[in-house]
């Protein structure tokens, strides 16, 4: 089993979650085919987990290892806050 940990991915998720007016919902997203391919590659390689997607997504994952939870939570709140796409 491999845990797939993608960043924002270009699927219907943000539309269905009514997050079109959020920064994360309106911003650039990773290609779902690329995310799936990276997940399958990790699975077949026997990896426990994979952060899939763009270089930006993977860099954010590295940064999250050293940032305090309070700072990460504030960042996620800002990205998902209604109306944040207009800022």
Q: What do you get for the CA distance between the two ends of the chain, in Å?
A: 40
Chain segment 21-63, per-residue pLDDT in tens: 999 999 999 999 999 999 999 999 999 999 999 999 999 999 9
Structure tokens at 60: 């954010």
Given a contact cutoff of 8 angstroms between Cβ atoms, the answer to whether 52 and 4 are in contact is: yes
Q: What is the pTM of this model?
A: 0.84
Query: Whole-angstrom Cα distance, residue 64 to residue 71?
Result: 9
Chain segment 63-86, per-residue pLDDT in tens: 999 999 999 999 999 999 999 998
* Confidence grade of residue 87 (pLDDT, cut at 50, 70, 90): confident
């Amino acid at each position: 089993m491999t845990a797939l940990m993608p960043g924002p991915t270009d699927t219907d998720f943000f539309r269905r979650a009514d997050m079109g007016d959020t920064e994360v919902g309106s911003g650039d997203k990773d290609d779902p085919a690329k995310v799936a391919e990276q997940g399958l590659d990790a699975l077949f390689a026997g990896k426990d987990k994979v952060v899939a997607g763009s270089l930006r997504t993977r860099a954010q994952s590295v940064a999250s290892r050293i940032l305090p939870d309070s700072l990460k939570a504030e960042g996620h709140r800002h990205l998902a806050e209604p109306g944040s796409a207009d800022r």
